[in-house]
Amino acid sequence: MNNILVCGLTNIETTLKINNFPIEYSPIEYNFFGINSSISGVGYNIVKALKTLGDNPYFFSIIGKDIYENIIFSDLEKDKVDTKYVLPLLEKTVQSAILYENTRRKILLDLKDIQEIRYPTSNIEEVMDQIDIGIICNINFSRDLLKILRNKGKVIATDVHVLSDIDDNYNNEYIKYSDILFLSNENICGYENNIVKELIQKYTHEIIVITMGEHGLLLYTKEKSEIKHFPAIKTRDVVNTIGAGDALFSCFIHYYNKTKDPYYSIKMATIFASYKIGESGGAKGFLSEHELEELNIM
């Protein structure tokens, strides 16, 4: 069992299935079973995935003092995730609305005033000796934990998601302090190899992964000093791609922390993420390690 610190966002997510983009105006449209609300957020999704895979995540997050507080705590407790470090410091919990049609989606994210809050750093000392690795999501309240983990010699993993420039001011510290870096190609399509090479020249990452949706992903390892392409895998029909990146990232960390084999880890993570998108909702559709390895054999 891996002991993993996860510092990231929890939000209430509402997904809305549409026929296609762009959306044509009409005063009303009936969408039976096409609208669903659930608990999600990058940090929450990662914790749920890790827990399903058999890990022991220490979850550091910030939520609101509102009607969703007890719902979030109840859900985490049901899955036996410790809620001690999930702090209700906001007046209102962050919310998102996601319009999707198969592989395309539009995310509307209302962060409330969470970007003005920092997570209390004193809490991290309580778990420092227990954790194997720190997953620090690029939400502003997690920023202060980067230097603390680095000074303690802990491995840091992060996903900066959509990036256009490696000198991006908001994500600079997350890139600089991470040992394992994930990002999407959505704003760098066609320039993925160039971005990896720029990152290699400026930083010292052990591993860099660029996800490319249906075109698979690129994996760079410092150990072999190579960039390798991995194709996408189809395990079942796609319902909603929301949370695919979080699933891939979580499963990679799970296996890499156990095996230190990035190639096996990315293979298992690709299968895990492929299966996940056969269900709608960022925190749904996860396999256990046993189920995943049985699927790998097939």
Alpha carbon distance 271, 286 (integer Å): 11
pLDDT at res. 101:
85
Longest Cα–Cα distance of the chain, Å, equals 57
- pLDDT, one tens digit per residue, over 204-253 is 999 999 999 999 999 999 999 999 999 999 999 988 888 899 999 999 99
104: pLDDT confidence band, cut at 50, 70 and 90? confident
C-alpha separations of 59 from 124, 131, 252 in Å: 10, 11, 18
Alpha carbon distance 59, 51 (integer Å): 11
What average pLDDT does this structure show over 64-87? 96
DSSP state of 92: S
C-alpha separations of 117 from 52, 84, 111, 125 in Å: 29, 18, 11, 19
Alpha carbon distance 92, 63 (integer Å): 7
- pLDDT, one tens digit per residue, over 178-190 is 999 999 999 999 9
Query: Please, are residues 262 and 219 in contact by the beta-carbon 8 Å criterion?
Result: yes
Alpha carbon distance 63, 40 (integer Å): 12
What average pLDDT does this structure show over 57-63? 98
| Closest to 136 in 3D by CA, of 88, 79, 197, 182 | 182
265, two tokens: 């880890």
32, two tokens: 């039976």
pLDDT at res. 240:
80
Tell me the average pLDDT of the chain. Answer: 94
231, two tokens: 């194709």
Query: Please, are residues 107 and 96 in contact by the beta-carbon 8 Å criterion?
Result: yes
No. of H helices and E strands in the chain? 8, 13
Burial class for 271, CB neighbours closer than 10 Å (0-12, 13-18, 19+): buried
Residue 293 CB partners (closer than 8 Å, separation 6+): 268
Look up the pTM and report it.
0.94
- Has residue 280 got a pLDDT over 90? no
The three-state secondary structure class of 99 is: strand
58: pLDDT confidence band, cut at 50, 70 and 90? very high
166, two tokens: 């490696």
Least confident range of 93-107, 204-218, 257-271:
93-107
What average pLDDT does this structure show over 102-116? 90
Alpha carbon distance 111, 62 (integer Å): 11
pLDDT at res. 298:
59
102: pLDDT confidence band, cut at 50, 70 and 90? confident
Query: Please, are residues 185 and 160 in contact by the beta-carbon 8 Å criterion?
Result: no
- pLDDT, one tens digit per residue, over 10-45 is 999 999 989 889 989 999 999 999 999 999 999 999
Domains of the chain: 3-297 (3.40.1190.20)
| DSSP characters over 212-268 | -GGG-EEEEETTTTEEEEE----SS--SB-TTHHHHHHHHHHHHHHHH--HHHHHHH
- pLDDT, one tens digit per residue, over 134-184 is 999 999 999 999 999 999 999 999 999 999 999 999 999 999 999 999 999
